[in-house]
Amino acid sequence: MRLSYNVSSPYVRRVSLLAAWLGISDKITHITCIPYTDTAFRDKNPGGLVPSLELADGSHIHDSMTIGYYLDQHYGDGSLMRAFTSGDIPRLVLYSEIEAMQQGLVKLRQDVMRGEKRPVDWYIERYRDTSLRVCESLNGQIAALEVRDFVTASAIAALGMMEFRCPDIVWRESAPELALWLDQQESDAAIHASYPQEL
Ligand SMILES: N[C@@H](CCC(=O)N[C@@H](CS)C(=O)NCC(=O)O)C(=O)O
């Protein structure tokens, strides 16, 4: 397995710890990746974030949590991710607090980098590009969005935010199936009623 990583990422560190606790660190080849500049990486990973694990069959698993599930399923006994698989609510609440802190710290760091390491416009372009790349990826996976679950709710929420807050992102032309699908969802009363509004 090949792990796209860098030494400063806390999300990568989660994966390194899990691999060590499973005793499989030697099965992972580390590929240094600076996602901000590595366009080849972004071509394989529309979200453009590390960590990302490439398997022997060439498929990619993104996100520390999803990689955690994969490693636990294949090399563990299920205990590393049991809080999630068993729906242990108090432990999940604990995780959500840790994750809120982690996301806040990443935003703080980005605020330092914004304007210091690269111009503000560079970041704006970067995250607009991420939205377009993910829309194109979803465009090829419409059947997966027909399931009514947390994943689909997350997709609807993200697309709704993009239309509400970033109407200048022109995504419908490059993701026409997704655009059609989203428009069809409007007939769902709950989806319609929950469309974002100004605070
Ligand atoms: N939810 C993701 C978050 C990963 C993440 O935010 N990675 C950061 C490094 S700490 C990254 O790749 N940032 C690049 C960017 O924001 O463009 C996970 O759990 O793996």
Q: Domain 2-80 is in which class?
A: alpha beta
Could you give the CA distance from residue 180 to residue 182 in angstroms, rounded to a whole number?
5
Burial class (CB in 10 A: 0-12, 13-18, 19+), 71: buried
pLDDT tens for each residue of 82-116: 999 999 999 999 999 999 999 999 999 988 888 88
Closest CA to 52 of 12, 94, 102: 12
Q: Average pLDDT in the 43-56 region?
A: 95
The SS3 of residue 179 is helix
**Interval between CA 21 and ligand 1 midpoint (Å):** 22
Query: Would you list the domain boundaries of the chain?
Result: 2-80, 87-113, 119-199
Amino acid 114: pLDDT? 86
**Interval between CA 187 and ligand 1 midpoint (Å):** 34
pLDDT tens for each residue of 57-86: 999 999 999 999 999 999 999 999 999 999
Which 8-state DSSP code applies to residue 94? H
